[in-house]
Each structure stands twice: as C-alpha cells, then as structure tokens.
Amino acid sequence: MKSPIRKAVLLVGGKGTRLRPLTLERPKALVPLLNQPLLSYELSLLARHGITDVILAVGYRADALKAALGDGSAWNVRLTYVEDPSPLGTAGALKNVESLIDGPFVAMNGDLVYDVDLGSVTRAHIESGATITFCLRRVEDIRRFGLIQCDDNGRVLAFKEKQEVDETRRNTVNSGLYVMSPDVPAQIPPGREFSNETQLFPGLLEAGHPLFGFVPPHQGYWADVGTLESYLQTSRDLLGSAIPWVRGSIAASADISPEASIHPPVCIGDDVNIAAGSVIGPNVAISRGCRIENGSRIRNAILWEDAQIQAGCELADTVVGARSTTPEGSRHVGEVIVQ
C-alpha cells in the first residue's frame, strides 16, 4: 500500500561498534548484504511505498556514505545528507534535521532489513493522531531490543530498553521504525547528545503525549544487523528468499571453473574468479573482484570486494573483509578476517 507520508529520516550515524573490525573500514549502513549495501534494503522498501524524499542523518564515516549512495537515484529516492557536528545520539540526530521537517515523517534506525507494509503504518499514525507511532515486532528473545508495553488499545504504557524478560509475556519490541508528528523535533534539546530510547520517548510519555504501538497486520522479514551473528544470519535468510523482492544472483561476468561445485543458494558478483576443485555454498555471498583459488571450501560466509582465498582453504561462518587474503591451506570457522 502506498504511503500518504512521503518523507523519511534514516539514522545512519552510529559507529557500528559491535561489528568491528568490519566497521573500521566503512559504516554499518554500507556493509554488503547479497553484494548490496545494507542501507539499500531500507531505501528500496521506502521507494516501494512511494516514500522518496529521504534524509540521511549521518555522522561516522559520512564521506563513505555519500560516495557509495550518491543522490539515491539508483534506488529511486532523493537523498539529502545532514551531518551530526559531533555524535548527537538517536534523538539529537533528529533534532539536527528539524529545519527539513515540514509534516509527519517516517524515522528509521539505519541498520534494518525490513519487509513491512509502510502504507498501513503511516495510515495508522494519521488516523490515531499519535505524537509517535511505534512499529512493533513480537520476538522470542527481547534482550537486544527495546521493550514497548502497550494497553489493549495500543497506547504505550512503558519503554524498557534491553530487558531480560517481559513480565506481560507480550514481547513487543521497538522494531526501529517510527512515524512521528512534525512537532517531535521541537521536544528535543538542541546541540547535545540525546537518546530516543532512554530520553525522548520516556519523556514524551511522562508528559502525556499520545504514543501508540502498532503491530502491522502483514509483517514480513525483520532483522537488526548489529552483530556478526545477525549479519551472517541475515545474509543466510536473504539468500533463502526471506524477502520475496530480494534475490541473490550469479553475475554473467563471474568466471567459474566447470570443475568447481556451486551449492545454492549463493550470490556471486562481477568479475569473481572461482578455480577448479572449489566447493562454494550453501549460503555464500561473494562480492565483486574476489578470487577463490584451487580446492577451497566455503560455506555460510560473506566475502567483501577483492578478497582472495588462497588454495585449499576452508571457511565457515566467516566474513572476509575487502582486499583481505587467507593464507594457503588455512581453516577459518566463525572468524572475521580483515587485513
């Protein structure tokens, strides 16, 4: 369903600490997933719902983001970059874009892979007259997320960030996607670090603002790509067609020896070279320019651009950074290799 709201703000200024050392080289929003930058999945979701005016609240490695995403036309959106002068936190970054806000807007954490009907979420926001509508997700393990407890009408009762258990057993967590009324940035103090989760949201609740949780009736795949484990898991899920409009592919320019075996699902980028005797897959994404030498075995792995796997290596549950090399005959399980 098309969204009646056309503007979004994406929070992409975090340091991606839990994905280090991969995020020393590039911001989390640019880590490759099926050979596309992580943020491209949010941009595509927004474009699919007609939300084409997209503000990126950037900070850490802003230049890399601008270089990779440009004006956004590759994803059918129009990007505007606004940079935190110093890390402003999730709410401070919203304050920093205040001058560009002229109506209700979608706000999203910038590390999500989400397939959701944004039209239903933005319509629910307009109908309820909420100050903020929180798109909620039911999960089994709430520990990595913000618990949001609501009454039977969806009105928010409490925010409890990163708890062990939900005593109500509803387990509805903050998906990282919100619809906000245009007066929200005015509630945030200027020029200093301020958090949505621990300051803005509880403060608005305390002040009596109408805050509503919304569990979309048709929710598809959702992942927060915050850790190595969730990064590898999301790659596996997408390769396994968790989102119907996302597909891995094998580039026509890839040079794959007829004596290599490929076990789908895999995604293989441009100019990749795979030598004889290699066994690739399942669940492997290989970015452009990688070289896999004779007799290597790779499963559940992500290779960034121009990585080189020397002969006879074995890789599982592993990420190899851009231009990194694994020495001949080496074995890597559950590793991040960055050189």
| Residues making contact with ligand GDD (CB under 6 A) | 11-14, 28, 57, 59, 84, 87-90, 93, 109-112, 145-146, 161, 173-176, 197, 224, 226
In the complex, minimum distance from the CB of residue 186 to ligand GDD, in angstroms, rounded to a whole number: 18
Q: Using the rule CB under 5 A, is 111 a contact of Mg ion?
A: yes
In the complex, minimum distance from the CB of residue 174 to ligand GDD, in angstroms, rounded to a whole number: 4
In the complex, minimum distance from the CB of residue 81 to ligand GDD, in angstroms, rounded to a whole number: 11
- Residue whose CB is less far from ligand GDD, 55 or 313: 55
For residue 102, the cross-strand partners are: none
- Residue whose CB is less far from ligand GDD, 225 or 319: 225
Binding segment toward Mg ion, per CB under 5 A, in 78-86, 106-114, 235-243, 274-282: 106-114
Q: Using the rule CB under 5 A, is 224 a contact of Mg ion?
A: yes
Q: How many angstroms separate the Cα of 177 from the Cα of each of 106, 112, 250, 252?
A: 7, 9, 32, 37
- Residue whose CB is less far from Mg ion, 135 or 307: 135
In the complex, minimum distance from the CB of residue 315 to Mg ion, in angstroms, rounded to a whole number: 26
Compute how many residues bind Mg ion; rule: CB under 5 A: 3
Q: Using the rule CB under 5 A, is 226 a contact of Mg ion?
A: yes
Q: How many angstroms separate the Cα of 98 from the Cα of each of 93, 104, 146, 282?
A: 9, 12, 24, 46
User: How many CB atoms lie under 10 A from the CB of residue 150?
Assistant: 20
Q: Which does 174 bind (CB under 5 to 8 A by kind): ligand GDD, Mg ion, none?
A: ligand GDD
In the complex, minimum distance from the CB of residue 111 to ligand GDD, in angstroms, rounded to a whole number: 4
- Residue whose CB is less far from ligand GDD, 161 or 335: 161
Q: How far apart are alpha carbons 3 and 150 in whole angstroms?
A: 24
In the complex, minimum distance from the CB of residue 328 to ligand GDD, in angstroms, rounded to a whole number: 37
Q: Which does 173 bind (CB under 5 to 8 A by kind): Mg ion, ligand GDD, none?
A: ligand GDD
Q: How far apart are alpha carbons 178 and 174 in whole angstroms?
A: 9
**Alpha-helical regions (H) of 162-298:** 201-206, 228-239
Please name the residue that has the structure tokens 């369903």: 1
DSSP-based three-state secondary structure for 238 = helix
Backbone angles phi, psi at 233, to 5 degrees: -65, -45
Q: Using the rule CB under 5 A, is 92 a contact of Mg ion?
A: no
Q: How far apart are alpha carbons 263 and 243 in whole angstroms?
A: 20
- Residue whose CB is less far from ligand GDD, 135 or 302: 135
Q: Which two tokens stand for residue 335?
A: 């590793």
**Read out DSSP for 113-164?**
EEEE-HHHHHHHHHHHT-SEEEEEEE-S--TTSEEEEE-TTSBEEEEEES-S
User: How many CB atoms lie under 10 A from the CB of residue 119?
Assistant: 18
Q: Which residue is nearest to Mg ion (CB)?
A: 226
In the complex, minimum distance from the CB of residue 309 to ligand GDD, in angstroms, rounded to a whole number: 30
Residues at the interface with Mg ion (CB under 5 A): 111, 224, 226
